[in-house]
Amino acid sequence: MSPIVLALTGLCLSVSSTDAVSSAEFEKAARVTVAVMVNFSSKPFRGKREQEAYDKTFAGRYQKLLRKNHFLYFGLPFMLSIVAGSIYLQKFTAVKWERYDERHRQLNEEEMLNMVENKRPVDKRDDYYRLQGLLTDHLEKEVKPNDDYEIVRVSRRPEDEPVWDAPK
């Protein structure tokens, strides 16, 4: 005989299927069950004087306004986070634009004249040999090529040898 479980506001009343439950007994059990249940509220209990004192504080006035105006609960914190974020990120954007200004800076007349006056003469042959690495006159310090090495073939291990004609 399987028990029938009647759910009443979060608590259960177990009755076997052979028992006859009258409506009066059921209502009595429901009242007892409801009386036993404790309602845990998120609102703290305050006495009358404490509540009046709380209502005079900034938090109390803000909470009273929250009940009336939902913008203060959702919109205002959102707007404040946007403003605070832009102020916080202002340093990063300043660095970004400073780098941009360094790259795209316009030259004044003096700088342009210095560039023209300090221009080195162009010789195709010297530039060709310099780019090929054959001409070392353009280098400040003498760079010697690595001529002290020999190309030597190292023998492979037998297991590393490629096998082309493997028996099938």
In the numeric block, which tokens belong to residue 149? 């090495």
- State mean pLDDT over 160-167: 74
Q: Which helix (H) or strand (E) holds 132?
A: helix 124-132
pLDDT at res. 29 = 65
DSSP 161: S
Let me know: does 3 contact 17? Beta carbons within 8 Å: yes
In the numeric block, which tokens belong to residue 134? 């054959």
Instruction: List pLDDT tens digits, range 43-92.
Output: 778 889 999 999 999 999 988 888 888 887 789 899 999 999 999 999 88
Closest CA to 118 of 126, 110, 107: 110
pLDDT at res. 13 = 47
Window from 10-19, 24-33, 76-85, 132-141 with minimum mean pLDDT: 10-19
pLDDT at res. 10 = 41
pLDDT at res. 82 = 96
Window from 3-17, 44-58, 78-92, 98-112 with minimum mean pLDDT: 3-17
Instruction: List pLDDT tens digits, range 118-157.
Output: 777 778 888 888 788 776 665 555 556 666 778 888 888 8
- State mean pLDDT over 35-46: 67
Alpha-carbon distance of 18 to 3, in angstroms, equals 9
